Chains A and B, each alone.
Chain A
Amino acid sequence: MEQQEIIPHLFRTEYRKIVSVLCRHFGFGQIEIAEDLASDTFVTAAQTWAIKGLPPNPTAWLYNVAKNKAKNYLRRNAVFESKVSAEIQRISAELYETAIDLSPQNINDSQLQMMFAICHPSISAEAQIGLSLRILCGFGIEEIADAFLTNKETINKRLFRAKEKLRGQNIRIELPGETEIDARLAPVLTTIYLLFNEGYYSESRNKTLRKDLCLEAMRLCTMLIENRQTNKPAVNALLSLMCFHTSRFEARINKNGEQVLYDEQDTSLWDPELISKGAYFLHCAASGTELSKYHLEATIAYWRTQKADTREKWESVLHLYDQLLQIEYSPIAALNRVYVLSKVKGKQSAILEAEKLNLTGNHFYFTLLGELYTDIDNKQAKLYFQKALSLAKTTTDKQTIQKKIDAF
């Protein structure tokens, strides 16, 4: 036996292609069958390849096995389910006659269509991310549970309900028409961004998994850019944003899986390739008349890759936050804006603005007040940090705030 190299993540990569194609072939009515057939394909591969070694063309081997398994299933189904209605038998026979198409074109089309189906507005955001991870990314239940810091039963239930919904709403697996595409793209982009954030801000200590989630979100976004119909400015802006953020991935988590604050990051760990990729897609995004929140967030993220404290930087970022809040208000963006305001106009005026927000249930609000009062009234600052600590929920946030308190 020779030592053979297997491509990293080959199973996961091919699983999601096969499951998308099978799902589209069978429809959401039999989504579990598609998942089982795809899983079976890899059980067969693992058992055979482990002993006999890799076949000359692993991908072609997998596609052949998947096709045969699908055929066998349909044949068996047609024979055994003789009690079911003639209609179902006719459909089974029809599906059996039409071969499963695992050409690159159909794989790509199926994945894009699945993306739009899964991100249908009628499915809850949580379920969309779960289904995306399962069907579009090829993750297992245990891995999804790990990413969400929950257990397998919760994820299983969540996915089960989401699939019921897909069936119940009779959602079709197809690309929306030209006129609809912008409206339907919005929830797709939201899901991709949520998926990305799941990896970027996750509390999970599994750094590899977290980075995989970020890269998966970027891959899905790239698929949209590669398709003429879905290559829109906002899609490019979102990819740009994710590239800028991911460039700091290695610097913002230490080897114990703990978060390293921006100011304490080792900038030599920032990835220059991702920063220039981000700049490239931001450039691509600058066409047309639409200014999406992703454009603004990407431009803010660009400035975050520039560590030097220049007046130009903070004034630009402040202007961007002003625009962002007009498009879509969020407490976090409002708090970030006040922080930036302190850089432009000084802490005193930022304190006035901050107190107007009055977000007393939010630990970020008190953390910000703590920051602003530091060096102005340290006693008050410490009180605010303590208030923040009592409201913080995650271990990372608690550790970060505790460090601030200890510094006094």
Chain B
Amino acid sequence: MKEYMLIFRHQDGGKIASPEQMQIWMQKTMDWLNGLAKTGNFEGKGNGLIFDDARVVHHNKTVTNGPFGEIKETLGGYVVVKANSADQAAEFAKGSPVLQGEGNTVEVRRLAKDDGTH
């Protein structure tokens, strides 16, 4: 089994969803991950990424608040799943409630191992 990171990109939910809808979305995500945990494909690795008070450090070392304004979607979080192949990991990703929003994506990336086998 290899490790894949599923990276969630989605619209700013606060602008479109009500508190009740957000809670339902969260519950669905929990159910999805619990399902993957039961089959041993998810071991709790992952986190949400907080958007507000974010900073961007530029090549000339200036620091800006943001990225605000110019982007429509945000990097909302990531989880690490165990899968035999990228295709299987992508199958897992299909269950993510993030995808219910039009334009939202889940990117699947294999984690590099440090033993040179990748």
A contacts, CB < 8 Å to B:
1, 3-4, 6, 9-12, 14-15, 36, 39-40, 42-53, 69, 72-73, 76, 80, 138-143
Which residue, A42, A45, A76, A80, has most C-beta atoms of chain B within 10 A?
Answer: A42
Residues on the A chain within 8 Å of B27, using CB? 6
Q: Mark B13-54, 1 if CB is under 8 A from A, else 0.
A: 111011111110111011001100100001010111111110
Determine whether the beta carbon of A40 is less than 8 Å from that of B26: no
- Chain A residue at minimal CB-CB distance from B37: A1
Neighbour of A46 across the interface among B23, B51, B53, B65, CB < 8 A: B23
Q: Mark B50-76, 1 if CB is under 8 A from A, else 0.
A: 111100000000000100000000001
In the bound assembly, the distance between CA atoms of A376 and B105 in angstroms comes to: 69
Determine whether the beta carbon of B26 is less than 8 Å from that of A49: yes
Q: Is B91 an interface residue (CB 8 A)?
A: no
Determine whether the beta carbon of B22 is less than 8 Å from that of A11: yes
Residues on the B chain within 8 Å of A14, using CB? 19
Q: Is B86 an interface residue (CB 8 A)?
A: no
For the residues of A in contact with B, the DSSP-based class is: helix
B contacts, CB < 8 Å to A:
12-15, 17-23, 25-27, 29-30, 33-34, 37, 42, 44, 46-53, 65, 76-77, 79
Residues on the B chain within 8 Å of A141, using CB? 18
In the bound assembly, the distance between CA atoms of A73 and B53 in angstroms comes to: 8
Residues on the A chain within 8 Å of B47, using CB? 48, 51-52
In the bound assembly, the distance between CA atoms of A9 and B21 in angstroms comes to: 10
Determine whether the beta carbon of A46 is less than 8 Å from that of B52: no
Determine whether the beta carbon of A46 is less than 8 Å from that of B50: no
Residues on the B chain within 8 Å of A43, using CB? 12-14, 17, 22, 51
Residues on the B chain within 8 Å of A1, using CB? 33-34, 37, 42, 44
Which residue, B22, B27, B34, B76, has most C-beta atoms of chain A within 10 A?
Answer: B22
- Chain B residue at minimal CB-CB distance from A3: B34
Which residue, B12, B21, B26, has most C-beta atoms of chain A within 10 A?
Answer: B26
- Chain A residue at minimal CB-CB distance from B97: A50
Residues on the A chain within 8 Å of B13, using CB? 43, 46
Determine whether the beta carbon of A47 is less than 8 Å from that of B77: yes
Known: A1-B33, A50-B33, A72-B53. A36 touches B42 (CB 8 A): no
Residues on the A chain within 8 Å of B29, using CB? 46, 50-51
Determine whether the beta carbon of B48 is less than 8 Å from that of A12: no
Residues on the B chain within 8 Å of A36, using CB? 14
Residues on the B chain within 8 Å of A143, using CB? 18, 20
Which residue, B17, B23, B30, B49, has most C-beta atoms of chain A within 10 A?
Answer: B23
Determine whether the beta carbon of A12 is less than 8 Å from that of B26: no
Determine whether the beta carbon of A12 is less than 8 Å from that of B23: yes
Residues on the A chain within 8 Å of B37, using CB? 1
Determine whether the beta carbon of B20 is less than 8 Å from that of A11: yes
A selection of 19 A-B contacts at a CB cut-off of 8 Å is A1-B37, A1-B44, A6-B23, A11-B19, A11-B23, A39-B19, A43-B13, A43-B14, A48-B48, A50-B25, A51-B47, A52-B46, A52-B47, A69-B52, A72-B52, A139-B20, A140-B19, A140-B20, A143-B20
- Chain B residue at minimal CB-CB distance from A18: B19
Determine whether the beta carbon of A140 is less than 8 Å from that of B23: no
Nearest 6 Cβ contacts at the A-B interface: A140-B18, A47-B48, A39-B14, A50-B29, A11-B19, A48-B48
Min Cβ gap A148→B in Å is 15
